[in-house]
Amino acid sequence: MSQDILVVVEHLDNVISDVTFELLGKGRELATATGGKLLAAVLTSSAQSLAEKLGVADQVIGVEDPQLQHFNPESYLTALSSVVEKKAPRLVLIANTSMGMDLGASLSVERNLPLVAYAADVEMEGDAAIVTSHLYGGKIYSESVLDADSGIVSILAGSFPAEPGKKDGTPELEILAAPPALSDTRLRFKSLIQPEAGDVDITQEDILVAVGRGIQSEDNLPLAEELAKALGGAVCSSRPIVDNKWLEKNRQVGKSGLKVKPRVYIALGISGAPEHIEGMKDAELIVAINTDETAPIFEHAHYGVTEDLFDIVPALTEKLK
């Protein structure tokens, strides 16, 4: 086994996701610690255009095939497994996204490698990789030791800054032959269905008032709407609110929703699960209102209030008026 760190590049429509740059930045740190190279695995129909955006890597490993133009869990697994078999990296870093969760577990079985998921930090201590995972929405921290020759770490988006992974450079590009099995996969990509535009584009709003489980009932949404109106902003939410059909999908912030970067983000009754934090962590000012003093949202908020939102929000709205 080598001491190299392999980052799996996640992309859509030839755009590399921010979480990939987070992994590349952390991967560079880990490669320095192990004395190995930082490798980036690009599975696509044409690797050159993506490789040019991965300057922080020492080498880009591309597997090209029309079957890889769009994500297909079966095709991607076959291609990624061939990369891991040939390069035998010390660690494989993959995002804990819907794509990464598909690939990470399957790759673990395919290559018989240990997998640590929901990771928020990875450090090398001697020959061992110490992985800290956030479970149950950040309520439990678990520490795992990967002292095997190789392993897979599935990392939560938002765990590391993206900027260190966005350096300019021209990494070496190595194209591996696509595995013959790609032509025999049972799954076929048919089409990408984009969601319809909604009444509000929360990605363009300067001020957002976000509601979570703490709002308790659909009947209480007007509290948030009045506050947003007084501030000149819009209402958005965490996933449970959309799952309950209290708000439309276009209002959802997070990994399975939209990524926003407003000037002000006010979180009402939101615990701060990593999936939600991924979508709003870049807001310029974050204010959290939650009666649970241990809620993970306070780790990211610039200001926090632990009083009841049903007391604070009406008083704040009245003051603004």
**Structural domain that includes position 263:** 202-320
In a domain, 314, yes or no: yes
Residue 228 and residue 131 share a domain: no
38 domain residue, yes or no? yes
Number of domains in the chain: 2
Flag whether 275 is in a domain: yes
Output the pLDDT for position 86: 95
| CATH code, domain carrying 100 | 3.40.50.620
User: 271 and 143 in one domain?
Assistant: no
Q: Is residue 39 part of a domain?
A: yes
* C-alpha distances in Å from residue 295, one per residue of 24, 41, 57: 29, 36, 36
**Token reading at 320:** 């603004």
Stated length of the chain: 321
> What's the CA gap between 264 and 207, in Å, rounded?
5
Give the residues across from 62 on adjacent strands.
42, 175
Last residue of a domain, one of 151, 184, 217: 184
* Per-residue confidence in pLDDT tens, the chain, 321 aa: 789 999 999 998 888 988 999 999 999 999 999 999 999 999 998 888 898 899 999 999 999 988 888 898 999 999 999 999 999 999 999 999 889 999 999 999 999 999 999 999 999 999 899 999 988 766 788 999 998 789 999 998 878 888 999 987 788 999 998 888 777 788 888 887 776 666 788 988 999 999 999 999 999 999 999 999 999 999 999 999 999 999 998 899 987 788 899 999 999 999 998 889 988 988 999 999 999 999 999 999 999 999 999 999 999 999 998
Q: What is the pLDDT of residue 9?
A: 96
- Pull the structure tokens for residue 124: 């090398």
**105 and 12 share one domain:** yes
Report the run of H or E that residue 176 belongs to, with start and end: strand 172-176
Burial 47-73 (b: 16+ CB within 10 A, else e): beebbebbbbbbbbbbbbbebbbbbbe
Shared domain check, 222 and 173: no
Residues 169 and 55 in one domain: yes
Query: Residue 260 in contact with residue 236, Cβ under 8 Å?
Result: yes
Whether 195 is in a domain gets the answer no
